[in-house]
Structure formats: C-alpha cells, structure tokens
Amino acid sequence: MSAYKRSAKSKISYIVLVVFAVIVFLIGVFCYQLSMNIDDMSKYESKLLAAEIINSAVGEALENCHSQEILTDVRDSSGKIVSFSIDPMLSNEINKTISEAITQKIRQSEDKGFNVPIGTLSGITFLAGRGFDLELKLHQLGSVSTRIISEFDDCGINQSRYRVYINISVELSAVLPIKTTEITVESQYLLAEKVIVGDVPDAYFSA
C-alpha cells in the first residue's frame, strides 16, 4: 500500500473518530441536561395536566350545585341587611360533591395516562415536542382537601362585594418510566358573589 493511500485512510479514520467523539459528547450533554431538568419539567407538565383535570371536574360538579345559594343574608325588622352567613349544609354538600368529582376524574386519568415527548422533558427549547413519548400517569396520594372561605371588600361608593370561594388541594404522584415525583396542586374557585348597595352590614360571619 502506497504512502498516499495509508495517509488517506488515516485521515478518514481520524474524521470518523472525531465525528464519533462529537456524537458521544452531544449524547452526554443531552443526558446530563435531561437529568438536570427532568424533575422540574415533569413537575411542571404534571401540574398542567392535573390543573386541567381539576378544572374539568370542578366545572362539572358546580353545574349540579346551587353554589350561589351558599351565601345568605340576615335582615332586621326593617329589611336592612345586618349580617351574612354561609349555609353549612350546602357548604358540606359542595365540598363532598367536588371532592368526589376530582377523585373520579383522576382515577379515570390513571387508566389512560398522558404522553409527554422526551424533548419536552429535557427542558431544551428547540427540542420541545420532539422525540419519543414517555407515558406520564397521575396517582392520587390521599383524599382531596377542600376549604370554603369568604371575603368582602368595598367596590364603590356605598357598595360592598361579598364572595365565597372554595380552596382545593390535591396531592399527586407523577409517574414516569424513569422517575416518580410527588406534587401538590392547589386551586381556588369562586362559588358565590353578592354586591350590596347601601350601608355596610354591622357584622359579617363566615364558615
């Protein structure tokens, strides 16, 4: 074999070696980036999915609840509003209905799971939505925690606005084939609102 051919063969081998080294380096960088971001990204994606599930469940549940009736007023003999209260029976019914609706929706989601591209989990912007899919499943860790709260504020001259909310907290386990992460999703929804024109009531009571 001539010196020229040996030199050409050496150059090709060198180029192949460099290309291989670059590929290995890029794969290493990707794997490192993936390991650094997968926890945060899986939490982020899981919270988005959980929020969609919870929103859907609460929306359906409230369609069957007379939530506006939860806030009632108390009047004196002249018909003037002197206080406000939250109906405890309706409050318990709403808490129960929403908790059961969320639990049912999550259980339905456990059966089907969700697919998240590996590029999205990598946290690398230009890889978002690319690559093979990893199945993400959400498992409820405990009972749904709900709490009804109320607030009032001034919304104009001689006007007061009264609102009743339900706070929801759900603890979930986000399961990927390569990792399991625990997350907590918290949401707040408006149940009822009243605007009162006239004097501000002397007292305000909440559950």
- Residue 168 pLDDT exceeds 90: yes
Give the SS3 label for residue 87: coil
pLDDT at site 101: 92
Over residues 134-156, mean pLDDT: 82
CA–CA separation, 74 and 118 (whole Å): 58
> 88-112 and 3-63 helices cross at what angle (nearest 10)?
150
**Contacts of residue 153, Cβ cutoff 8 Å, sequence gap at least 6:** 160, 161
**Reported pTM:** 0.70
Give the closest residue to 47 by CA, choosing from 173, 178, 179: 173
Beta bridge partners of 175: 137, 180
CA–CA separation, 32 and 149 (whole Å): 45
Contact yes or no for 93/62 (Cβ under 8 A)? no
Contact yes or no for 205/78 (Cβ under 8 A)? no
- Residue 9 pLDDT exceeds 70: no
pLDDT at site 170: 92
Digit-coded pLDDT (tens) for 192-207: 888 776 655 554 444 4
